[in-house]
Amino acid sequence: MLSGSGAAAAGTAPWPALREELQIHPAGANRDGSPAWHICDPVRNLFFRIGWLEFEILQRWTAADAETIARQVGAATTLAPEPQDIAQFQGFLARHQLLRAVRQKAPMPAWRWLLNNYLFVRIPLVRPAQLLARLLPWLSWLFTRWFAGLSAAAALIGLVLAARQWDTVEANLRGALSWEGVLGFAGALIFSKLLHEVGHALVSTRHGVRVGHMGVALLVMWPMAYTDTGESWKLERSRHRFAIASAGIASELVLAAWCTFFWAFLPDGDLRNALFFLATTAWVLTLLVNASPFMRFDGYYMLTDALDFPGLHERAGQQARRCLRHWLLGLNEPVPETLSAGFRRFLIAFAFATWIYRLVLFVGIAVVVYHAFFKALGVLLFIVELGVFVGRPVFAELCVWRERRAEIPRRRRLGWLLALTAAALFVLVPWHAGISAAGVVKAGAEQPVYSPFAARLVSLDMTNGQAIAPGSELLTLDAPNQAEERDKARALATAYTRTARGALGLDDGPAAKLAVAEQLAVRWDAESRAREAELLRLRLVSTYAGQVRDVDPLVRAGTWVGPSQLVAMVVDGRRWRVEALVPERDRQRLSTTMPATVIVKGRTRKLEGRVVAIDNSPVKRLPHMLLAQDHGGPIALNPTLPKKDLRPAEAWFRVTVEGETDEPLSAVREVRVHFEGVRESLAHGWLDSALSVVIQQSGF
């Protein structure tokens, strides 16, 4: 037991006493061979590793004075501590609540506790120490070499046989995308993770470590089992702690090995499907999640025990922060601890990898949290997540830089001032005018050749690529029924005209017969002219000069064509039109008559044109399938609608650009259009985008 008391000198703060319930245990040796101990806090079930100097300080804590303790340690050992070393260790004890506080610490507000802990909450359920002690003798064969060898052989044989049945594996994976597959993976995940925690508990009990409790932890509101193996720090040998830390992964790998082995031999059925789910879940999640050393999962503790370097994240972070401050600010801080140059470089690289990994992970968690709740709360939690777990550590480091700004060399400060000024000018000055947009280019003038109504083709003299002059006849069509009706109407009109003339010489009722004959003559004459006008519509001529394209190969003399059948196209390729799509923010910076540069995909020559129209509402359908991502384009389609609808996932506005070129365009092509819009700063654009996303997604 550790205990301490002290008297305060006059006019100074009272010397703090150690908590009476603290315990100290030997912890083997450090990497440099020096002895180590663990301070055990039985109330919180926490352990803190200390070295020889800290142990000697604790042995003389009752001296109640930093200078006295430093002098006594120096006289009794080969150590040479300074009073500030005792003061630093006192701060360590105070930060970790190992001292008896003179004043009771105010309880943390509920909102602050929820803010710090809503991502990870532990709920203890059982205390399995006695049950594990009874089970261990019955399961001792699991820890034998022959079982490990058999499991390794089963894994090798199973993987080889699975590779030879890879088509079956792929079929099972595709079938797992159904609701039955999701439920199967969920059940396999629960079973494998329970076995994972039982493995930790059994190995802990085997090495004499008491398992305090087992329960459920909520990780981003997702339940997962956990086992309290905190007392493993009592073990002096790091290989024993490594065995406990790796027991969960080993259990899942053994499960995966035997499931893969039996799956390769069993016939199709529910049992084989269950083994497939268990094997896949154990192989994938164990290697991707639990084996990661960048979070405090099994992989981290395994690496810590393998290196025999407790507090790996914190100590590596200290080395990386010192290195970062030296690189960026020119600060020459004392080395946090004595390590070899190679191991120090490893710790620095590991710390930077951990920071990058956590940045990606926390951003991903923020996105998950955003989608897990309704919009307003999702946006709020997204901001809180990034602010607490990404912004707060960065802000804390910046505060340290600010406090130590007087230590930064003048040349380094001047360099950073110039760099920040340049960055501010780059972001705040409205120099950015360029707008780039995706689009498609088409011929500016296109004349589709259709028959106005059902007609028979008399002759077709057009061929693909043929040059057509304005007013040239394109097709010769004939409509026999229309011609017959026209001739019939002409004959009747002529007959009734003669009848009307003959009625003038009659004595009995000439006026009435004359009126009827004249009316019928006018009617049939009008129908004759109408039929003639319809037949004149069959004479199709070009309205402008161009080239013939897309002639229907099935159309030839004597065939009938309908009004919906495209016979050919007459295209003036020297005039072109581009339909480009821009987001709303860029649309506001554009105006008509603005020049535009068009770069056609696959061509080196640029096209110069002008904006002729800007839509005020977003497009409902892409101008061409070439712009869709599913066809190699840059614009994503709405995943909730059929692909054939070409409905974009976001709001895009059409900008029409027209121009002329000496070299005719031969087909519809994908292009990239560059505009010189109204100048805007990058900060303004970023702010507009952020506000639009917040307003749109929050539902305000």
The whole-number pLDDT of residue 8 equals 40
Kindly tell me the burial class for residue 470, based on how many C-beta atoms sit within 10 Å of its own C-beta (0-12, 13-18, 19 or more). exposed
State yes or no: pLDDT of 566 exceeds 60.
yes
Residue 555 lies in a domain: yes
Q: What is the pLDDT of residues 244-258, one digit of tens each?
A: 888 888 888 888 889
Residue 424 lies in a domain: no
At residue 48, the 3 state secondary structure works out as strand
State yes or no: pLDDT of 112 exceeds 90.
no
The whole-number pLDDT of residue 150 equals 92
Mean pLDDT in residue range 110-124: 61
Residue 662 near residue 574 (C-beta atoms within 8 A): yes
The whole-number pLDDT of residue 544 equals 72
Q: Which spans in 389-465 are helix H?
A: 392-403, 410-428
Tell me the CATH number at 669. Answer: 2.40.30.170
The partner residues of 39 in beta bridges, in order of sequence, read 24, 48
State yes or no: pLDDT of 3 exceeds 50.
no
Give residue 628's domain range: 436-440+570-698
Asked whether residue 102 falls in the same domain as residue 248, the answer is: no
Asked whether residue 460 falls in the same domain as residue 524, the answer is: yes
The whole-number pLDDT of residue 346 equals 93
Q: What angle do CA 22, 24, 27 make, to 5 degrees?
A: 145
Kindly tell me the burial class for residue 192, based on how many C-beta atoms sit within 10 Å of its own C-beta (0-12, 13-18, 19 or more). buried
Domain count, the chain: 5
Asked whether residue 178 falls in the same domain as residue 302, the answer is: yes
Q: Two tokens at 191? A: 């079973």
Among 531, 561, 591, residue at a domain's last position: 561
Q: What is the pLDDT of residues 350-383, one digit of tens each?
A: 999 999 988 887 777 777 666 666 666 666 767 7
Residue 363 lies in a domain: yes
- Average pLDDT score, the chain: 79
The whole-number pLDDT of residue 2 equals 52
Asked whether residue 671 falls in the same domain as residue 581, the answer is: yes
Residue 482 lies in a domain: yes
Range among 536-545, 559-568, 588-597 rated most confident = 588-597
Q: Which residues, in sequence order, are CB contacts of 70 under 8 Å at separation 6+?
A: 81, 82, 83, 85, 86
Q: What is the pLDDT of residues 643-700, one digit of tens each?
A: 888 888 888 999 999 888 777 776 788 889 998 877 777 777 677 666 665 655 555 5
Q: What is the pLDDT of residues 604-613, one digit of tens each?
A: 778 889 999 9
Query: Which stretches does DSSP call E strand in 519-649?
Result: 539-541, 546-549, 560-561, 568-582, 595-600, 606-614
Among 106, 136, 157, residue at a domain's last position: 106
The whole-number pLDDT of residue 51 equals 85
Q: What is the pLDDT of residues 420-444, one digit of tens each?
A: 888 888 878 877 678 889 998 887 6
Q: What is the pLDDT of residues 67-80, one digit of tens each?
A: 999 999 988 888 88
The whole-number pLDDT of residue 10 equals 39
Mean pLDDT in residue range 598-603: 83
Closest CA to 455 of 535, 356, 568: 535
Asked whether residue 583 falls in the same domain as residue 676, the answer is: yes
Asked whether residue 577 falls in the same domain as residue 493, the answer is: no
Mean pLDDT in residue range 447-468: 76
Asked whether residue 47 falls in the same domain as residue 165, the answer is: no
In angstroms, rounded to a whole number, what is the distance separating the alpha carbons of residues 102 and 441? 79
C-beta neighbour count of 452 within 10 angstroms: 13
The whole-number pLDDT of residue 690 equals 65
Asked whether residue 208 falls in the same domain as residue 59, the answer is: no
Asked whether residue 369 falls in the same domain as residue 466, the answer is: no
Among 292, 310, 328, residue at a domain's last position: 310
Q: Which residues, in sequence order, are CB contacts of 228 under 8 Å at separation 6+?
A: 45, 124, 211, 212, 213, 214
Distances (CA, A) of 198 to 132, 144, 175: 9, 17, 31
Residue 236 lies in a domain: yes
Residue 488 lies in a domain: yes
**How confident is residue 5, by pLDDT bands cut at 50, 70 and 90?**
very low
Residue 490 lies in a domain: yes
Residue 426 lies in a domain: no
Higher pLDDT, 265 or 44: 265
In angstroms, rounded to a whole number, what is the distance separating the alpha carbons of residues 181 and 178? 5
Asked whether residue 345 falls in the same domain as residue 462, the answer is: no
Q: What is the pLDDT of residues 286-335, one digit of tens each?
A: 776 777 888 877 888 888 888 878 788 888 988 999 998 888 888 888 88
Higher pLDDT, 151 or 109: 151
Residue 6 near residue 88 (C-beta atoms within 8 A): no
Asked whether residue 592 falls in the same domain as residue 693, the answer is: yes
Asked whether residue 268 falls in the same domain as residue 319, the answer is: no
State yes or no: pLDDT of 11 exceeds 50.
no
